[in-house]
């Protein structure tokens, strides 16, 4: 079985990539676009496994696990998440000066929208004239977010969330003790990656519970309750951003009219909460005062 067959849903994308691989006509630069949680990173590993090890085997398994020396990975660093030019240059050196055990090599660029001008320029030459046998696979949340100079040199494919029933079945299989698989599939709109992340640890589950509690407090217009809940996030920047992301998921579920998601928000309150959460996330990302940003959030959510 081809590794791409492991990717749920997105049949058109899988068929196009598989056909190009079989015909030997796969572009040397692939851009996989999909919002967080839909599996663009997993799709990239599946494509890399099929490219490097078309017959499967242990080598393909290493690629899928993200542990293959044939896959060179570049991602964002630091608070900004930017992809730095130094890292691109390092990978360029690795491409030319290390031996291969597979038939080729893959360079994965995760979050290509985080390439800045310098790192993008350092990558352009390789995309225009790639070394023989090297496949570039870029992922991004949206095609529009990628610099035009990079985007124009790639063949782009879009990934979408799977149907909620498919997501629920996956969650039941991988989390057999989870009684609310259908609710989480609906809450996250079929985004397997997001649902899996929230169910994979006690801390993630607790944060999801806080997001749903915050949504309920917003619906009740309980300012004191919202302030009390948000206190523990005032000095935890990453945790606060995750909380806000999960709150927006509850808002989206309400606006989609998904009864299975059991969102505590009415559509009107969901619109207000989504806007407030988005603006608060922007303030925190810009290194604003966390305590002040969350205090203002509590006031807006319950206005």
Each residue's pLDDT tens digit, 269-279: 999 999 999 99
Confidence of residue 102 (pLDDT cuts 50, 70, 90): low
**Per-residue pLDDT averaged across 159-163, rounded?**
94
pLDDT in tens, 181-205: 999 999 999 999 999 998 888 999 9
Q: Which residues contact 266 (CB under 8 A, 6 or more apart)?
A: 219, 254
pLDDT in tens, 34-89: 998 899 999 999 999 999 998 889 989 999 998 888 888 988 887 678 889 999 88
Confidence of residue 98 (pLDDT cuts 50, 70, 90): low
Q: How far apart are CA 273 and CA 251, in angstroms?
A: 7
Checking DSSP bridges between strand 155-158 and strand 134-140, what pairing results, if any? unpaired
Distance CA 201, CA 184 (A): 15
Strands (E), the chain: 29-33, 71-74, 105-109, 134-140, 155-158
Report the length, in residues, of the chain.
Answer: 303
Sequence-distant (≥ 6) Cβ neighbours of residue 272 within 8 angstroms: 218, 300, 301, 303
pTM value is 0.86
**Is residue 255 over pLDDT 70?**
yes
């Amino acid at each position: 079985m081809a590794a791409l067959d492991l990717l749920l849903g997105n049949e058109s994308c899988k068929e196009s990539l598989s056909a190009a691989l079989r015909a030997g006509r796969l572009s040397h630069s692939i851009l996989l676009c999909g919002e967080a949680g839909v599996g663009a990173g997993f799709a990239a590993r599946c494509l890399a496994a099929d490219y490097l090890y078309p017959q499967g085997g242990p080598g393909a398994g290493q690629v899928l696990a993200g542990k293959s020396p044939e896959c060179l990975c570049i991602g964002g660093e630091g608070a900004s998440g930017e992809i730095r030019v130094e890292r691109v240059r390092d990978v360029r050196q690795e491409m030319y000066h290390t031996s291969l055990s597979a038939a080729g090599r893959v360079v994965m660029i995760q979050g290509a929208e985080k390439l800045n001008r310098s790192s993008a320029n350092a990558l352009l030459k390789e995309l225009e004239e790639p070394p023989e046998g090297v496949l570039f696979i870029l992922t991004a949340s949206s095609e529009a977010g990628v610099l035009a100079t990079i985007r124009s040199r790639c063949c782009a494919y879009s990934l979408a969330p799977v149907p909620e029933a498919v997501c629920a079945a996956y969650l039941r299989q991988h989390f057999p003790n989870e009684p609310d698989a259908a609710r989480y599939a609906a809450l996250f709109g079929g985004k397997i990656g997001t649902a899996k992340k929230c169910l994979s640890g006690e801390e993630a589950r607790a944060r999801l519970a806080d997001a749903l509690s915050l949504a309920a407090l917003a619906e009740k217009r309980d300012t004191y309750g919202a302030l009390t809940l948000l206190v523990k996030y005032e000095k935890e920047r990453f945790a606060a951003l995750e909380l806000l992301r999960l709150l927006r998921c509850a808002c989206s579920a309400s606006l989609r009219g998904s009864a299975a998601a059991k969102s505590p928000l009415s559509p009107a309150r969901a619109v207000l909460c989504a806007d407030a959460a988005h603006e608060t996330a922007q303030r925190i990302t810009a290194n604003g005062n966390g305590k002040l940003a969350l205090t203002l959030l509590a006031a807006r959510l319950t206005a």
